[in-house]
Structure formats: structure tokens, C-alpha cells
Structure 1
Amino acid sequence: MTSLPLEARDWLAGPGLTGLWAAVRKRLEGNGLQATGALRLSSLTHQEREALSLLLGRTLTGTAVTVRLDQLDARLRTSSARCGLVEVLNALGPPLVDRRAARTQAQARRDQVWSSFASALGSSPLTSVEWSRPWFEALRRAGIPKGVEPEIAVRTLHQAVHILTLLFSPDGSSRTRGRGELAAETTGTAHGLDDGAWLTRLVLRGIALAHGTELPEDAAGRRALWRLAAVTPDEVSSTVLSYGLRPEGSSWREQALRERSAHGAETHLTLRDLCHTTLSIPPDTLVRICENPRVVEAAADAGCTKPVVCTSGNASTAVLTLLDTLATAGCAFAYHGDFDWPGITLANRIFGRYAALPWRMSADDYERLVAHTNAQGIPQLSLAGLPVAADWDPNLAHAMTALNVALHEEVTLDVLVKDLA
């Protein structure tokens, strides 16, 4: 490797040549590190013009100059630098990157990934099903996610082929499996098919094509898609907290809900419960929705009778499944949450999805609550984050910004419990 003399390096690294080297670096990295072509430099300062005059060996008088890279390379080789343009740029640092070669190598690695995938698919029983080719083409168009190394991509794509072969085995040996069980069997970890994983998206796209349906965007749709392939998603870990639901019906599940309501007991419903329970609630029943479990607890302690569902913060799949079921039954909703910016964001989602009514969530309610807590000497917490407009009341964000007080549901429990009594 050619060494750039220290004296020459110090002069070439001077501020008068910084702009030149930046432009040359960009050109070299884009054309395969070849000292070819020309650069046009404009708006030169006096310092840059003087430095370029010395470097090029000719007097520059204007504010623009055209520099031919082959001539610059030749001049550097015959100067005290004693090395060419590429060596000079590498010495000044950072090392040049042949981006053209890098792109070529990256494309070659991608081609190897898809070639390996095509080979695995072609040697599997899936090659005989009509949707396997569209699946391959769809995955290739989507490409490999950013940051996934080629060897990881090959392994993941092969796992997808293996999983779909198990699920759609032509010999009829497929069976019902839990998603965690299937993941452990094929990836070595029960979390290998968790939501959000690339492998999960690959497999779900194949299941969707096999059943002639679209790839769903929501969690409930993805769970339904797993069931089409005889894979049971986890339906017991996610729950929704409810109180006072009295569905009609004679099954033990409906009876259990009515019994718990009669005894003032809250209920944690799993997705399994919701899938096997027909919530026949009388139409136009008003169901209150709260954000904090403390509201449900207080309602139960007070022996309230009106139904309430708690989102426990951002509504989970279980929460949305219950609310969707109640909406289908013809129930109406009223929502209360925290008076802070994250709380308004969560509320907007509920209001938008279910056309809910505000439950003591107006600007007037907020101002009264601020005054009430202040009069009681309750320490007041400032709002944090950027303001969020409330879809149900355009004045609420203005009032919150003006008073700058964050209020959580716990400070208004007495009023909410009276509404539920």
C-alpha cells in the first residue's frame, strides 16, 4: 500500500481542498474507484481558488473550475504525494467504498437467497399446490426486510416452506396444533411464530393464498387465518376486564356472567371465552368504557349495576373483540379515560371505532375537575408531550393546554361510580 508523505498529507488535508475531496470521493465511490470523468466546482472562495491553483498547476481567476479526474490523478502521481487519486483519498480517510461493487455483491447474495428458496420450494410437496408459485413471487416482490442477513433469510424462508408443508401436507397427515407448539417444532422456540416476526408474515401470506383470502392487517384477522390452517393461537393469556354484563342465553358461560354480575363481581374474559360465548345483550344497552382497572374495582366495591368494560390502557385484541361483539349486538358506548395527551390519543381510537359518546370527557368536565382537585389540595401534575386534539370536543385540547394539568381517572372515581350505580 502506497504511503502518503506526511508533509504532502498535511497540505492536501487543508481547508481549501475540502470541497474538492468531498466531490471526488462521491464520484469515485459511484464509478468503481476509477479516476475518470470530470467535476464542475462552483462558488469557489478565495482560499479554495488559491489551493486549487497550486494543486492543478494553473492559475484560476474565476469562481468555477472543471477538474478532470485523470489529469488530477496524473498530477498527484508526479507531485510530492507520489501516489494516485484513490490512494490520496484513502490516506485522507475514511477509506473509499466501491459502492458499485458493493451493490453487485449485494444483488448476488440476494439472488442466492431466492435461488435457494426456489430450490427448497421445488423439492417440497408444496410444489404441487397451485398457490405455491404465486406465494414465491409475492415474497420475492416484497423482498428481504432491511437488516436481515442472507444466511438468516435463507434459514427463515426454508422454515416457512417446512411449516406450510406441515400445514398443507397432501397426504392428509396435517393435524390441529397450537401456534407455540408449531413454532417450537419448526424453529426451536415457542416464540418463533409470534406476531410481527418475518417468518410469521411469510407463513400467513401462504395460508391466505391457500384459502383465497387477503392477508389481514389486524390481530383478530390474523388469529382467524391461523385457525383456517388448523393452528390455534393463544386464546387464554390475553384478557379483558368487564363488570355487570348480563347476556341472555342458557349456556353455562352466559349464566356464569349473570351470576357474577348479580354478586357484584368483576370478570376477566379470555379470547377463548369470547369465541364460545354468545353475548346476547339487549339492543341499545349503554356500556361504559374506562381506561383504568381501578374504575371497575370501585364500581364492584360500591355494588354498581351498570355494565362497564376496561381497556387497561391501549385496547388489546381481547378488549376489541369484546367491544366488537357488543357493538354487533346493538350496544351503545360511552367512554372515559385519562386527561393527558396519551389518554386523549387512546380515547380517539375508541371514539373513532365505536362512535362512542363522551363520558364526562368534555372541556367543561376537565375544567371542573381541575378546580375540584386544586380546592382539595391534590398535587397537580403537568402535562407531558405534544398536545392532541380530542375528536369529540374541539375545546378540550385548548383547555388542557391552558391549564396544563394532567388528571387520571383515579381522581374522579366518586363521580364515575355514581354514574354506574
Structure 2
Amino acid sequence: MGVADEVRAAWGGAALRGLWARAREALEAGERTFRLELPDAQAQRAVGEVYGRPMLGHGTRISVSRLDDAVRGSRFGLGLPEVLEILHGRPVQRGGTTARNEHRERSGGTLRAALERRGLAQAAWAEPWIQWVHQYGRVDDAELARIAERAADVLAHLALAEPPQEWTSRSSLAARTGDAAELDNGTTLSRVVLRAAALAHGVDAPSNERERRALWERCGVTLDAVSATVLCWALPLVGADAWSRGVRQRTALGLPTHLTLLDLRTAPARLVEAGTDIAVCEHPRVLEAAVAEHLAHPVVCVAGFPSTAARMLLRRLVDDGARLHVHCDFDWPGVTIARTLLELRDARPWRMAAADYREALDRAAAQRTDLPNLVGSPVDTPWDPELPVLMSTAARAVEEETVLSVLLADLRKRTEADPPGSARPPKRP
């Protein structure tokens, strides 16, 4: 095997494509440094091994001269221009800004046309996504047209602007537009689609399995029917079937229940009586405290942005006529979650007004409780337009744990009579 073959074998993998593409652009434009995005752990590790220092985070700045020194000091002993010529099959064209711009325009046109055919080209995320794919997407020129069409097909089926009303499995979505495995983790199509989804929802690109799963679910895509769960306590189920009895028995034992999509698909058609009041919180700490005090008021915890299981359960409950009382953190992500939940029928805010936020600030000051800084961009709150103004002025976040005593006091005020079909939590000494 010759040196060129060894270079291609060692450095021609997908994890390093972004490095070599940006290095070529920098050399041809006469730039001394360039910004490199590191979308995953594999890219961080591979670039770090070539560059000679650990790579942390999602991006870094690379020195062209240091990269040249690193590759010259490798076992191949070749300079950066020689390495790029081997990997790309063409020499580096110094001062080739015009050619580079032409290539950018061609790739951008291919991606833009694919989006245009699905009515997506005017979306706010479209142009930033096109720029990202060109610079960091690590898509071979020969594959670009196919990836552009497949990505546009998938994106057209995702919930990118509004909360999803229904869900599909990732394999079914991929199969609808081609290969059922092409959206699996690590594939080129999965990478570019998730980047568009992150831009559309205004969140960071996912860097681990948990974040990828959350982003897929936010777009209405489930990875499977058993891993996404919703945490519940004391649901007053009315059914006499084995499924309902099993959930009620856990309540009787003083245990909460994690329901999966498979659980909910197996559940009886009717869960609760019309008019049932159900508290909905963001953090498991609230539900845990309700369990610890054996409070009989039903609680559903969404544990951050609602999963597919959480959305399905809450929709089932409101279809039965339940009334949801929603509380989340007083920070911008929490307000966003609350807005999503309050779009459900018969959902209402629970201590989420400007007056409640002001009261929490005053209580924290009186108790000398440190509150974290409020970061991010303001989010409108249709239920109380004064809330984001006050939050922006105070610039402090109030987490649910800070107001836990107030929330628990509300839950204690439930009537002593058990709702029909409930299993009252046991009283302990």
C-alpha cells in the first residue's frame, strides 16, 4: 500500500471530512485560522488525534499553520496541501476564492431547490441550515443531490413550527422516503435532518442520545414504544380492567408509575371521569414530594419538554374531560413548556401569573435564597402578558423547587372524598 492509500485509509473517514473541507477553504482563501464545528464525540476524537490536542464542546478554532505542522509531524511526513490533494483528488488552488464561492453557490442551489419543492425554502431555518450543510455537513458532492432530496422529504413530515398532533416511528418515517435504516444514529441523513430540526426549534444541536431522542420527539417522531415515559401519581382511573387495577395498586403501595407509549396503547379507552382535576408539573421533585406526603391529588410530571408519552397521556386525559392545572419553572424554557401544555383543551395555568412570580421573588429575598440568572430570549405568555416583562426586568429564574411548599399546599386542599375508582395512598405514621 502506497503513502496515498495509507493517508486515505487513516484520514479519509466521515469524522474528518469537515476538518479537511474547512482547511481547504482556509488555504485557498489565504486565511490563517478557521472555525470548525464538532457535531459529535466521534468528530471531537478524530480531530483531536490529528491536531494533537483534546477537542471539547461543539466547535473550536483551528490554526492552519498548526494543522500543517501536525500533519507534517505524522508518520506520513506530508504537508497539509499534499494531504488535501490526496484526500480530495485535486490540488489546493491558492487564491481560489472564486472557485470556492461557485462551489458554495452550486451546493446551496441544490439544497434550496429541494426545500422549495416541499414548500420549505422560506422557513427561517432554511438558509442557516444550507450554510451549515455546506460548511460542516460532511456530505460528499456526489451524494449531495440525493441527501438534499431525502432530507427535504423527511423535514416536510416533521413538526418544525407547531407541536406535533400525532407521532410516527423513525423507521416508518425513513421507509416512507426510502431506506428504513437511513435515519439511524450516525448516518449522514440523520445528521443533517437533526441540524435542521434544531435550527427550526431554536435549540442546540444534540450531542448525545438523550438529546437526539428529545429532539426527534419534539418533531413528532418516536424511536420506539417503550423508552419514552411519563411519570404519574394517584391517577383516579375508573376502569375495572387489569391495566387500571395495576396502576391503582401502585398508588396504594405509595409508588408512582412510569407509563410508556406501549402502556398507553394498551390502556382502556376511558381513563378518568369528566371534571377530574389533574396537576401537571415540570420537575419530578414536585411529584416526589406529593408521593412522600401521600397526597391524594393526581399529578403528572412532564420532566422537561413533554415526551411523546406525556403528550399522549395528557391528550387522553383532556379527551376524557379532565382539567389540567399547569405549572413550570419561571424561566424561558419553562415558559415555553407551559405554553405548549396550555394549548391543550381545558388546560389552565397554575400559579404561573406575574403576581405569582413577584411573590416568589419576594419570598426568596426574605429567605435569602439565591436565584439563578435568567438567560435566553423572552417568550410571550398569552395567559398573562405582564409575566415576560416582569421576568425580563427581574432577570431571575424561579425553579419549581423554590416554590415547592406553595404547590404542595395547593395539592393538600383537595377534597377528602376519593374520586371514583381511585386508590387512596396509604397513610403512614
The normalised TM-score by structure 2 is 0.51
2:314 is matched with which residue?
323
Q: Indicate the SS of the match to 2:396.
A: coil
CA shift digits 1:146-182 (9 cap, x unpaired): 544344458879999xxxxxxxxxxxxxxxx9949x9
Matched, 1:396 2:387: yes
Matched, 1:246 2:236: yes
1:149 is matched with which residue?
140
CA shift digits 1:121-142 (9 cap, x unpaired): xxxxxxxxxxxxxxxxx89x99
1:95 is matched with which residue?
96
Check whether the contact 2:233–2:299 (CA below 8 A) recurs between aligned residues: yes
Q: Indicate the SS of the match to 1:333.
A: strand
Check whether the contact 1:179–1:234 (CA below 8 A) recurs between aligned residues: no
Which amino acid letter does the alignment assign opposite residue 226 of structure 2? V
Check whether the contact 2:150–2:189 (CA below 8 A) recurs between aligned residues: no
Check whether the contact 1:246–1:254 (CA below 8 A) recurs between aligned residues: no
1:191-230 correspondence runs (5 A): 191=185
CA spacing shift, 1:104–1:286, aligned 2, 3 Å: closer
1:284 is matched with which residue?
275
Q: Indicate the SS of the match to 2:273.
A: coil
RMSD of aligned C-alpha atoms? 4.4
Check whether the contact 1:283–1:329 (CA below 8 A) recurs between aligned residues: yes
The structure whose Rg is larger is: 1
Matched, 1:263 2:253: yes
Match of 2:227 among 215, 219, 237: 237
2:285 is matched with which residue?
294
CA spacing shift, 1:264–1:193, aligned 2, 3 Å: farther
Equivalent-residue separation in structure 2 for 1:400 and 1:280 (angstroms):
37
Matched, 1:365 2:356: yes
Q: CA deviation at 1:330?
A: 1.2
Equivalent-residue separation in structure 2 for 1:188 and 1:375 (angstroms):
56
Q: Indicate the SS of the match to 2:313.
A: helix
Which amino acid letter does the alignment assign opposite residue 257 of structure 2? T
Q: CA deviation at 1:405?
A: 2.3
Q: Indicate the SS of the match to 1:381.
A: coil
Equivalent-residue separation in structure 1 for 2:241 and 2:298 (angstroms):
20
CA spacing shift, 1:330–1:197, aligned 2, 3 Å: farther
Q: Indicate the SS of the match to 1:315.
A: coil
Check whether the contact 2:107–2:144 (CA below 8 A) recurs between aligned residues: no
Q: CA deviation at 1:300?
A: 0.1
Q: Indicate the SS of the match to 1:254.
A: helix
Check whether the contact 2:171–2:181 (CA below 8 A) recurs between aligned residues: no
Check whether the contact 1:296–1:308 (CA below 8 A) recurs between aligned residues: yes
Check whether the contact 1:246–1:258 (CA below 8 A) recurs between aligned residues: yes
Equivalent-residue separation in structure 1 for 2:147 and 2:376 (angstroms):
39
CA shift digits 1:73-92 (9 cap, x unpaired): xxxxxxxxxxxxxxxxxxxx
Equivalent-residue separation in structure 1 for 2:240 and 2:261 (angstroms):
20
Which amino acid letter does the alignment assign opposite residue 334 of structure 2? G
CA spacing shift, 1:94–1:237, aligned 2, 3 Å: same
Which amino acid letter does the alignment assign opposite residue 96 of structure 2? P
Which amino acid letter does the alignment assign opposite residue 378 of structure 1? T
Q: CA deviation at 1:362?
A: 1.3
Check whether the contact 2:272–2:317 (CA below 8 A) recurs between aligned residues: yes
Match of 2:374 among 358, 378, 383: 383
1:303 is matched with which residue?
294
Matched, 1:314 2:314: no
The percentage of counterpart residues that share the same residue type is 33
CA spacing shift, 1:194–1:410, aligned 2, 3 Å: farther
Q: CA deviation at 1:254?
A: 0.8
CA spacing shift, 1:96–1:353, aligned 2, 3 Å: same
Q: CA deviation at 1:386?
A: 2.6
Deviant stretches of 4+, over 4 Å: 98-107, 153-160, 177-180, 185-190, 192-200, 217-223
Check whether the contact 2:255–2:291 (CA below 8 A) recurs between aligned residues: yes
Q: Indicate the SS of the match to 1:392.
A: coil
Check whether the contact 1:246–1:261 (CA below 8 A) recurs between aligned residues: no
CA spacing shift, 1:412–1:105, aligned 2, 3 Å: closer
Q: CA deviation at 1:341?
A: 2.0
Q: CA deviation at 1:390?
A: 1.7
Q: CA deviation at 1:337?
A: 0.8
Q: CA deviation at 1:255?
A: 0.7
CA spacing shift, 1:252–1:399, aligned 2, 3 Å: same
Which amino acid letter does the alignment assign opposite residue 369 of structure 1? A
Unaligned runs of 5+ in 1: 1-92, 111-137, 161-176, 201-216, 224-232
2:68 is matched with which residue?
none
Match of 1:338 among 301, 322, 329: 329
1:351 is matched with which residue?
342
Check whether the contact 1:292–1:311 (CA below 8 A) recurs between aligned residues: yes
Which amino acid letter does the alignment assign opposite residue 248 of structure 1? V
Count of paired positions: 261
Q: Indicate the SS of the match to 1:97.
A: helix
1:121-136 correspondence runs (5 A): none
CA spacing shift, 1:149–1:277, aligned 2, 3 Å: same
Check whether the contact 1:374–1:380 (CA below 8 A) recurs between aligned residues: no
2:74 is matched with which residue?
none
